[in-house]
Amino acid sequence: MADLKDRIEGLRKTFEAEAFKAGDAKSLEELRTTFLGRKKGHVTLLFEDLKAVPVEDKREAGRLVNAFKTFVQDGLAAVEGRVEETARVSDKATASRLDLTLPGRKIYVGAPHPLVLFQQEIENIFLGMGFAIEEGPEIETDYYNFEALNFPPHHPARDSWDTLYIKDDLLLRTHTSPVQIRVMEKKKPPIRIIIPGRVFRRETPDPTHLPMFMQIEGLVVDRGATFAHLKGTLEYFIRALFGEKIKVRFRPSFFPFTEPSAEVDIECIVCGGKDESCRVCGGTGWKEILGSGMVNPQVLKNVNIDPEEYSGWAFGLGIDRTAMFAYGITEMRHFYENDLRFLRQFGAK
């Protein structure tokens, strides 16, 4: 009996020491096997040894072994509770490193290019006056780019030093006017359209010239369309774009596709006409921003519109050139280099 008591006392101390150390599910299971394992567990062996205990001691010995078994079971339950709590707290600590209240990271999706923004600004002014937007091909034939627009056969613009040819009769359009011819062929007047788009010329790049740039042209064809409508519409457009107070002047000019023709100047907003060596206006105080005129009757004939019944007026403007002037940019190549330090100044994030 004394023997058994000592053995149980030793096992109790061992169990307590091991239970104190057990910190995870694995060591808990090892402890359970060591004490309650069905073959060699300490408690199992104690029950087996009971068989050899003399009859008079059996009752007491059984009580002691059973009490120890309960002690081990309670101890294991306590360790199990502690292991679970430790795991739960450490999960919570991990979870708490994720601050769900922080704002999300923005995904960069890009932004409209400054030339697109400027083009839309122009478009919106004309849309407000009832114009429609039309587009057309960038690769054209000699007929649409020159012939239908009344360019004489040996006009210098047709030269391969000025125009980019793909083959004999296929070229990169040098202006958006061929789209106006295509629209007039298809639709009956009244016509009130603007045509934005890329155009191409054989240029050596410099701060104000590139072989590819943007143009926007407008065309009105109707009964009784006059130069007064041209002038009033373009003045309204310029004031909407540059402000009510801007000075505007019309100067006689020449284009093969218009007669009479006029170029439109506005006061130089860079120097205000006060700098004799201004690089933008050359000291004149005026900046040309539009070409315009009454559609040449020959052009109307070319698209089967009767010039005795209808008249038209048209204009053209360089988007890049005008944006440079509006924003005080001195280098056209900035628009096409996609340097974010440049682009971000126009609202791109």
Nearer of residues 227 and 342 to ligand 2NL, judged by Cβ:
227
Write out the H or E segment, with its range, that includes residue 318: strand 311-318
Tell me the window of 16-24, 86-94, 123-131, 214-222 that interacts with ligand 2NL (CB under 6 A): 214-222
Asked if 144 is part of the footprint of ligand 2NL (rule: CB under 6 A), the reply reads no
Site for ligand 2NL in 317-336 (CB under 6 A): 317-318
Cβ 160 to ligand 2NL shortest distance, Å? 21
Instruction: Confirm or reject binding of residue 146 to ligand 2NL (CB under 6 A).
Output: no
Other C-beta atoms closer than 10 Å to the C-beta of 217 total: 22
Binding residue count for ligand 2NL, defined by CB under 6 A: 20
Candidate list 145, 233, 258, 322; residue touching ligand 2NL; CB under 6 A: 258
Give alpha helix (H) positions in 243-318. Answer: 297-302
Among 217, 265, 267, 320, binds ligand 2NL (CB under 6 A): 217
Angle CA 288–289–295, to nearest 5: 105
Among 180, 233, 302, 311, interactor with ligand 2NL by CB under 6 A: 180
The least distance separating ligand 2NL from the CB of residue 254, rounded to whole angstroms, comes to: 10
Taking the C-alpha atoms of residue 277 and residue 270, their distance in angstroms, rounded to an integer, is: 12
Q: What is the DSSP letter of 203?
A: -
Among 291, 320, 332, 343, the residue binding ligand 2NL under the rule CB under 6 A is: 291
Hey, how many other C-beta atoms are within 10 angstroms of the C-beta on 340? 10
316 lies in the binding site for ligand 2NL (CB under 6 A): yes
- Least Cα distance to 118 among 268, 327, 337 occurs for 327
Q: Does 177 bind ligand 2NL (CB under 6 A)?
A: yes
Which tokens belong to 235?
Answer: 């003045």
Nearer to ligand 2NL, 22 or 264 (CB): 264
Tell me the C-alpha to C-alpha distance, in Å, between residue 84 and each of 71, 80, 96, 229.
Answer: 20, 6, 18, 86
Q: How far is the CB of 303 from ligand 2NL (least distance, A)?
A: 8
Shortest gap between Cβ of 244 and ligand 2NL (angstroms)? Answer: 24
174 is an interface residue for ligand 2NL by CB under 6 A: no
User: 264 near 250, Cβ under 8 Å?
Assistant: yes
| Dihedrals phi, psi of 57, to nearest 5 degrees | -95, -10
Strand partners, 171: 140, 165
User: How long is the chain?
Assistant: 349
Residue 197 binds ligand 2NL (CB under 6 A): no
Q: Is 255 in the site for ligand 2NL (CB under 6 A)?
A: yes
Element housing 4 (H / E)? helix 2-21
Contacts with ligand 2NL, residue ranges (CB under 6 A): 149, 177, 180-181, 215, 217, 219, 255, 257-258, 291-293, 295, 299, 314-318
